[in-house]
Amino acid sequence: MNDRDIALEEAGAAEEDAAAAERAERWRAAFERRESTREVRWPRRAVVTAGMPYGNKALHFGHIAGVFVPADCFARFLRDRIGAGNVRFVSGTDCFGSPINEGYRKLVEAGEFDGSIAEYVKRNHDAQKATLDAYGISLSIYEGSGLGHAGEVHRHISERFITELHEAGVLQRRSTLQFFDVQANTFLNGRQVVGHCPVQGCKSEHGYADECDLGHSYAPEDLIAPKSTLTGTVPEMRPVENWYFDLPAYRDFLRGYVDELRADPEVRAIVPQVIEEFLGAPVMYVKNDLREQFDAVAEKLPAHTLREAEKGKQSFEVGFASIDERDEARGVLEAAGIRFRTGKALVPFRITGNIEWGVEAPVIDGLEGLTVWCWPESLWAPISFTMAANDALGLPRGSWRDWWCAPDAQVFQFIGQDNLYFYGVAQTAMWEALSKRDLLSGQPTDEPLRQTRLVANHHILFGNKKASSSGAVKPPTADELLEHYTVEQLRAHFLALGLDQKSVGFKPKPFLATEEEKADPRVADPVLKEGALLTNVFNRLARSCFYEAQKNFGGRMPLGAPSPEAVEKVHDTMRTYDFTMHRVELHAIMSQMDEFIRWANKRWTDGIRAATNDDDAAARRQVLLDSFYLLRVACLLMHPVVPAGCELICDYLDFAPEDFFSWNYDFEDMGELCSAGEIDAGSHPVRELPPRFDFFKKHPSQL
């Protein structure tokens, strides 16, 4: 390279540096202007979580629709809103727990799998990851509680959590009864026992060792009609020692927490509603026809209150001051042969167990050979994943605190309503127990773990029934849906369902319609309603802009001031969108965008028709300028919903994605994205669009 080439290269580099510095300053100034005037406040950094699928199965549509797509939409929005480097979107396979042991055991016994349980989990994890990739779920990390570097971090964090809880004086060493299969000569855990949930009012027929499939927790000895899944026999109850978190001690704290949640208009009503259900006094329910037997032993019970059965009710209530007194009463009633059900209440939260496949628990006070119960370690797993993600970026190990502890950070946890007991009750109390201690060092701290924001969705039904991969109604897998719909059709539909408001039915025509209905084009497919906005209206707006630019403007987008009506519409829409996203009301986002895109498309259609009829070149230029401006904003706001199509439009517009999908502009015109030379020339070149091109395609089966 000669001196002239070197000089030219250095000059070019200096020009690029100057342009980058100018762009950064423009972003900073725009950001500060917007921050000083807007109504909502976004955190500086954020973590978004999406639960943890068990490592014993593929993902069904409920995993994708109920948690992963909403979480991904919100995480993508936050990256555009506060910067990609300030967001961690974390999840992973739940590698431990009795469902995995059972799934593995059944496959091995059936001769369908001959590897280790770790290999079984890894196989399922890889399948889950492939499905998430297919749906465009943009996780910062998807490893597992027992896989890869994240698994190593998780083992360390589990030890630290349990040690710190013990040091804080909130762990109890308790001898409890556990199911034991005499024929198999083994203790039974979790789903190795099945029976009927003992919680009053629960309709679940899938009660397991100490929780049912509807999220109710109870003492193992309360399970009704238990049966071992290993041998089909009725198991015995034998004593074991484990560590428990003193959850009942936090009832008053949780009541105050519920009051705060109810006062916050941005917290979904179901969150405080479910948490409060567990905060009443411990209660037993006894059938009215057993009243005489009860009265005969009532004096042997601890102090209690008796509430007569309400009109039409079949049971009267017996209330106690503490869970220990209720447990004492259990023995009295059982000895007298009196059956009862228990009410929802705070019970000691199990931390360790005796299952072999699990995270090894630290040895404390000589109690060894234990593993961590899968639920508590699932609660702190997102912290482990955040650490592992930061490690992959080369950040200091302590940087996780910037996301989980800093006052200007926020954690958004997307979960299903069935898991609110664990995330809203147990996790909240454990975080409070460590509110004065640093997790890693154990030293006092002014910035402990901050309480997370729980974004709980209601059930997504299959048709009109609750879908469960373990239930009688088998839902389609997430992969099977992609044989009939595009990813973007499904993402838009799932978000529009409104699971933040109520349980809603998912009614895909290929799976639920009769053969006659499938063959009848007059029978609409509800899943395609939102897709029509994409494949028809949004497509038409984008194509019209490009084809008009190619036909009459030399393949260039005109620059200048958009019409005041267009600017007003954009700013009003963005303001409403920002507020709505802050409330995480994703179904409302879909409604707003439907209105905005249709408005922009109609404005194009009416404007270009008038300009053509009047043969008005200036009007034609203004209509195209306005429409590209509206298209830019439509792409930015739809980017979290349907990222692939919006990124394709950005590519054909020939803008850098990090600029195009950023809120750090004034949104007054398109010149904000262009170079000084393009602004002087009054236009920006766009890529040539092929004929009959679709940014948002229909599925081949729909053609």
pLDDT in tens, 108-119: 999 999 999 999
pLDDT surpassing 90 at residue 145: yes
Phi/psi of residue 215, nearest 5 degrees = 90, 10
pLDDT surpassing 60 at residue 659: yes
Please give the Cα distance from 557 to 682 (Å, whole number).
9
The DSSP 8-state label assigned to residue 507 in this structure reads -
- Tell me what pLDDT residue 5 has: 47
Please give the Cα distance from 26 to 296 (Å, whole number).
81
Q: Report which residue type is found at 625.
A: L
pLDDT surpassing 70 at residue 72: yes
The answer to whether 602 and 662 have CB atoms below 8 angstroms apart is no
Residue 690 three-state SS: coil
The answer to whether 70 and 586 have CB atoms below 8 angstroms apart is yes
Please give the Cα distance from 526 to 517 (Å, whole number).
13
Please give the Cα distance from 387 to 600 (Å, whole number).
43
What pTM does this model have? Answer: 0.89
CA angle 416, 55, 644 (to 5 degrees): 65
Instruction: Give how far the C-alpha of residue 384 lies from the chain's centroid of Cα atoms, to the nearest Å.
Output: 17
pLDDT surpassing 60 at residue 1: no
Length of the chain counted residue by residue: 703
Helices (H) and strands (E) in the chain, counts: 26, 22
Instruction: Give how far the C-alpha of residue 599 lies from the chain's centroid of Cα atoms, to the nearest Å.
Output: 32
Encoded tokens for 15: 């020009």
For the chain, the first-to-last Cα distance in angstroms comes to: 56
Q: Mean pLDDT across the stretch 170-185?
A: 88
Please give the Cα distance from 571 to 314 (Å, whole number).
59
Please give the Cα distance from 656 to 647 (Å, whole number).
10
Q: Mean pLDDT across the stretch 160-179?
A: 94
Q: Is the dihedral of CA 488, 489, 492, 495 positive or negative?
A: negative
196 band by pLDDT with thresholds 50, 70 and 90: confident
pLDDT surpassing 90 at residue 355: no
Each residue of 490-524: pLDDT tens digit? 999 999 999 999 999 999 999 999 999 999 999 99
212 band by pLDDT with thresholds 50, 70 and 90: confident
